Chain A
Amino acid sequence: MAVMSFTDAIEAALRQAMAADPRIIIFGEDVHMLRRNLYVQFGPGRVKPAPISESAFLGAAVGAAMAGLKPVVEIMMIDFLGVAFDAILNQASKVESFSGGKWRVPMVVRSACGGGYGDAGQHEQNLWGMLAGIPGLAVAVPSNPADAAGLMLTSLESPNPVIYLEHKLLADYWLEYLGRGNRTTVEFDVPAEGAAGEVPEPLAAVPFGQARLVCQGHDLTIATLGVGVHRSAEAAGLLNVQGISAAVIDLRTVSPLDRDTVVREVSASGALLVVDEDYRDFGLSGELAACMLEAGLKPRFARVATEGVIPYARHLEDAALPNVERIQEAALKMLS
């Protein structure tokens, strides 16, 4: 085991995979600075800074993947995917099916997501619900360094397109660049266990569609992912003091979704609380509710999610994103 930051763990996974497979190339805006260590080790031919032309270089990633490369293409923030959505919605996700399974698109879209540092609704969205709803895409959302490395390894081995989302409260460089900006006067609620932690040596791949039980509990099951895992674990600790035993499940990938683990836990507890930093409506939380009904369960159900456009003002933003108080409140209300 080695202790690594979330960012270093991703870099370690990329370094290992790029050394083993010369077909892996990285491109995106500013990657010569953002991925400077890989830029130096693997040279400007394999780590290529791109113009601010998302639709061109994301589309090019699809083409490159179809023609034999394994691109890791960086969309700086998942919000900016809007500029280039066709490449994902109509190209990458459709090729396998349209070719009768004969042609695949092994590419990783690496992108920052999430809020909590005052950047508002065009830079802090998560969108994993919307993306996971598109057949043909896998969507991975690691919550700690070991999963960050492990899910990146699996993404790089995947024969199909993967959206890999790194939360900005966990990725220290994003938080520094976009939030702190070298100021000592600002504070962010960074979950320490997510931003740095133990990573197995050698790195271990984390399979898609396998949720992790963060803590056990019999009164209530909390299903969550990303920074929500840490908020939920904190809330579970506080609920425990009040005599409520809550299990926390880290879903780790939205697509494929580990329905079995959630069904198993909820059939024992009889109550499901979904903590989802993505939008509440028409997304992951509703999907999980449907899964419960399809499995023949009728649990008590509640969700804590983002309910509108993410505000810029820090106090409003804090209230809009799922926080420990809201999780606790929802749990108590559901069980009362």
Chain B
Amino acid sequence: MHMFSREHLAASSGIVGAAGPLAAGFALAAQHLRAGHIAVAFFGEGAMNQGMLMESLNLAVAWGLPVVFVCKDNGWEITTRAGWVTGGGIAKRARSFGMCVEHVRGTDVVAVWKAAERLTAQARKGRPAFLHARCPHHEGHFLGDPMLLVLHKPVQQLTQMMPGLVKSYLCHPGASLVARTRSMSNIVKALAIMGTGHWLTNQDPLCLARCGLDSEFLERTEKEVREEMERARTEALEDWRKERATWQ
């Protein structure tokens, strides 16, 4: 949130869906000022229910803008299960605008890379593209995500939550017992789904593999990897600066 780099033409916003219209504008500017360049918008599946993003998909197609929309779909709109509040399918919805759409597993780096290569090539030809990437839900929407607090500190959080819930379940007047039970089970179900997702995420093969290695070796290797990444980053930035100098 709030990260900007004018030098890199990179911006962010705290408003869900705001990346859509901004990227359309970046793409329009690219058409006029930076031939061959494209804009990329990143957002979650929750943003796909925002009017401004839907309007941006249409605008991009109508104007033939060089833009790739990347939807990182972790299945959670803050603390609401995406499926509860989303009609139809994300990829299908994007396809209906007449754009080129690919679907990948977001954790499969090679698949993302290859799909991005194909989609950016499309966008460069003025055909807006859409990448739908399924992703795990690593952390909450924000630091104090109430559902994650329950998962991380169940005793403390449930002690706070339960008296109110039980009282409301029994308090009259109100909805029928069936409706109250449905509410209660929806809350429990949401917590269970998020909990299961997090348990699966924690079974990361990389984490498991690390457990079998000795700490000195790990430390040395990680240092080398960090240095290698830093070197690659510096070189990439240097290349980019040189390239940028040619089109300015």
Q: Mark A35-67, 1 if CB is under 8 A from B, else 0.
A: 011111111111101111111100000000000
Task: Classify chain B: how many residues form its interface, as a range.
Answer: 35 or more
For residue A28, give the distance in angstroms from its CB to the closest CB of chain B. Answer: 10
Interface centre among A33, A34, A46, A82, by most B CB within 10 Å?
Answer: A33
Pick out which of these stretches binds chain B: A175-183, A289-297, A324-332.
A175-183
Residue of A nearest to B163 (CB): A37
Pick out which of these stretches binds chain A: B59-67, B76-84, B225-233.
B76-84
Q: Does B245 contact A (CB under 8 A)?
A: no
Task: Tell me which of B13, B79, B149, B168 contacts A37 (CB under 8 A).
Answer: B168
Q: Mark B155-185, 1 if CB is under 8 A from A, else 0.
A: 0000001001101110101111001101110
Evaluate contact between B2 and A122: CB separation under 8 angstroms.
yes
Task: Tell me which of B77, B85, B145, B168 contacts A38 (CB under 8 A).
Answer: B168
Task: Tell me which of B84, B142, B190 contacts A178 (CB under 8 A).
Answer: B142
Residue of A nearest to B149 (CB): A182
For residue A293, give the distance in angstroms from its CB to the closest CB of chain B. Answer: 38
Task: Tell me which of B52, B152, B165, B179 contacts A44 (CB under 8 A).
Answer: B179
Evaluate contact between A180 and B144: CB separation under 8 angstroms.
yes
Q: Mark A278-308, 1 if CB is under 8 A from B, else 0.
A: 0000000000000000000000000000000
On whether A42 and B175 interact (CB within 8 A), knowing A52-B50, A181-B144, A182-B144, the answer reads yes
Q: Does B197 contact A (CB under 8 A)?
A: no
On whether A122 and B14 interact (CB within 8 A), knowing A30-B78, A30-B80, the answer reads yes
Task: Tell me which of B17, B80, B145, B180 contacts A49 (CB under 8 A).
Answer: B80
Task: Tell me which of B1, B13, B152 contacts A182 (CB under 8 A).
Answer: B152
Residue of A nearest to B81 (CB): A49
| Chain A residues whose C-beta falls within 8 Å of the C-beta of B179 in the assembled complex | 42-45
Q: Does A19 contact B (CB under 8 A)?
A: yes
Task: Tell me which of B13, B51, B77, B145 contacts A55 (CB under 8 A).
Answer: B51
Q: Which 4 A-B pairs have the closest CB atoms?
A: A43-B179, A43-B175, A181-B143, A181-B144
A-B contact pairs, 20 of them (CB 8 A): A32-B79, A32-B183, A32-B187, A36-B164, A36-B165, A36-B168, A37-B168, A41-B168, A42-B179, A44-B179, A45-B179, A49-B80, A50-B85, A51-B49, A51-B86, A56-B51, A123-B14, A177-B146, A178-B143, A180-B144
